[in-house]
Amino acid sequence: MAESGETDEESAAERVTLGSWRGPLQVHCGHCGEFKRAHSLKLPRTLEEGKRRFHYVREPDIAWFRRKRSCTACGTEFLTAEVDETLIEELLRLRQREARRRSVAYAKVSQEFRVRQKWLDTTGDDVPKELAAELVRGSAWWLTHSSGRPVRAPRHADRLQKLYCGWSVDFGANWFAAGRALARARDYAKSVFLLASGGKLPVERELKLRLRKISSGCVLNVNRDFYDDYPENGAGELVFGAQAIDVNDCERVLMRLTGLNDLLIAYAKVKIEE
Ligand SMILES: [Zn+2]
């Protein structure tokens, strides 16, 4: 336990009004992340805020004296609760116990969902054809359908060919390297499972963004060379003449096939479990 060396309380504020050189005492400011001098403010008399002494009805020994503080460094206003110090020690013990429980549970669910996806053990561009087909079926569109609206074009999956970069499908002059997209998603997913087993699952938005970016890097030109980054149109599509691959569809399919979707759900359950 570290000592923070301040003594007096409310009288410090009084000394300020008397023009003392000492100023307000130091309190830990959550915004600054360190001890800063903080003024003691009056509590507004609205609702319960005017009251200072509290306890929980079901846990009467959790009782505290409330103060409102204003950090002189950043101006943040916050409430403090003065309690018996043994409560802080109890909080520490409980927090550490909870962290141990979560870390065991995180490792367990990560391993469980990782082993379910056997295809993640593949290497290079050698991913199963049926998964490449699933990716194409779930993301290919025919933009100039006679109905006047784009329609899904799942039959492109029937035309997969094995190129040097794995299962791919041609759209006229361009190719979509579905196998490469899966391989890249797999490699990313494996790193995520590893992080997750250590309790550090990236947030959902980050996972999806990474998977979403994959498909535009998996387009070949007529010479079968990769574009660095095939441009999306405004609707999130990689357009090849009258056909397109929808990058948002790709993201959804890859989230599912890698098992990252299931991992996210299981992880969230660990967090809220009592
Ligand atoms: Zn501050």
137 domain residue, yes or no: yes
Kindly give the distance from the C-alpha atom of residue 35 to the centroid of ligand 1, in angstroms, as a whole number.
8
Q: Which residues pair with 63 in a beta bridge?
A: 55
Q: 261 and 144, same structural domain?
A: yes
Six-digit token string for 4? 């923070």
Q: 123 and 244, same structural domain?
A: yes
Residue-level pLDDT at 264: 95
Q: 199 and 134, same structural domain?
A: yes
Kindly give the distance from the C-alpha atom of residue 67 to the centroid of ligand 1, in angstroms, as a whole number.
16
Residue-level pLDDT at 16: 46
Q: 228 and 178, same structural domain?
A: yes
For 267, residues 6+ apart whose C-beta sits below 8 A from its C-beta are 106, 109, 196, 201
145 domain residue, yes or no: yes
Residue-level pLDDT at 250: 98
Give the distance from CA 28 to its chain's centroid.
28
Q: 238 and 164, same structural domain?
A: yes
Domain that holds residue 67: 10-83
Residue-level pLDDT at 5: 44
Kindly give the distance from the C-alpha atom of residue 205 to the centroid of ligand 1, in angstroms, as a whole number.
30
95 domain residue, yes or no: no
Q: 266 and 185, same structural domain?
A: yes
List Cα–Cα distances, 245 to 125, 146, 218, in angstroms. 20, 19, 11
End position of a domain, from candidates 56, 83, 110? 83
Kindly give the distance from the C-alpha atom of residue 71 to the centroid of ligand 1, in angstroms, as a whole number.
5
Kindly give the distance from the C-alpha atom of residue 93 to the centroid of ligand 1, in angstroms, as a whole number.
27
107 domain residue, yes or no: yes
Q: 34 and 79, same structural domain?
A: yes
Kindly give the distance from the C-alpha atom of residue 163 to the centroid of ligand 1, in angstroms, as a whole number.
59
Q: 166 and 39, same structural domain?
A: no
> What whole-number distance in Å separates Cα of residue 120 and Cα of residue 114?
8
Residue-level pLDDT at 46: 67
Q: 239 and 198, same structural domain?
A: yes
Q: How many domains does the chain have?
A: 2
51 domain residue, yes or no: yes
34 domain residue, yes or no: yes
219 domain residue, yes or no: yes
Kindly give the distance from the C-alpha atom of residue 79 to the centroid of ligand 1, in angstroms, as a whole number.
13
Evaluate whether 51 touches 63 at the Cβ level (below 8 Å).
no
End position of a domain, from candidates 83, 112, 146? 83
Evaluate whether 81 touches 64 at the Cβ level (below 8 Å).
yes
Q: 107 and 70, same structural domain?
A: no
Q: 133 and 256, same structural domain?
A: yes
Kindly give the distance from the C-alpha atom of residue 10 to the centroid of ligand 1, in angstroms, as a whole number.
19
Residue-level pLDDT at 8: 46
Q: How many other CB atoms sit within 10 Å of the CB of residue 108?
A: 13
Kindly give the distance from the C-alpha atom of residue 28 to the centroid of ligand 1, in angstroms, as a whole number.
8
Kindly give the distance from the C-alpha atom of residue 74 to the centroid of ligand 1, in angstroms, as a whole number.
4
Kindly give the distance from the C-alpha atom of residue 83 to the centroid of ligand 1, in angstroms, as a whole number.
22
55 domain residue, yes or no: yes
Q: Which residues pair with 81 in a beta bridge?
A: 66
Kindly give the distance from the C-alpha atom of residue 41 to the centroid of ligand 1, in angstroms, as a whole number.
15
User: Nearest Cα to 267, choosing from 210, 214, 207?
Assistant: 207
Kindly give the distance from the C-alpha atom of residue 137 to the centroid of ligand 1, in angstroms, as a whole number.
54
Kindly give the distance from the C-alpha atom of residue 77 to the centroid of ligand 1, in angstroms, as a whole number.
8
pLDDT in tens, the chain (274 residues): 445 444 444 444 444 444 444 668 899 999 999 999 999 888 877 656 568 899 999 999 999 999 999 999 999 999 999 999 999 999 999 999 998 998 999 999 999 999 999 999 999 999 999 999 999 999 999 998 888 899 999 999 999 999 999 999 999 999 999 999 999 999 999 999 999 999 899 999 999 999 999 999 999 999 999 999 999 999 999 999 999 999 999 999 999 999 999 999 999 998 876 5
Q: 262 and 130, same structural domain?
A: yes
3-state secondary structure the chain: CCCCCCCCCHHHHHHHHCCCCCCCCEEEECCCCEEEEEEEECCCCCCCCCCCEEECCCCCCCEEEEEEEEECCCCCEEEEEECCHHHHHHHHHHHHHHHHHHHHHHHHHHHHHHHHCHHHHCCCCCCCHHHHHHHHHHHEEECCCCCCCCEECHHHHHHCEEECCEEEEEECCEEECHHHHHHHHHHHHHHHHHHHHCCCCCCHHHHHHHHHHHHHHCEECCCCCECCCCCCCCCCEEEECCEEEEHHHHHHHHHHHCCHHHHHHHHHHHHHCC
Nearest 5 degrees, angle CA 44-CA 48-CA 53? 100
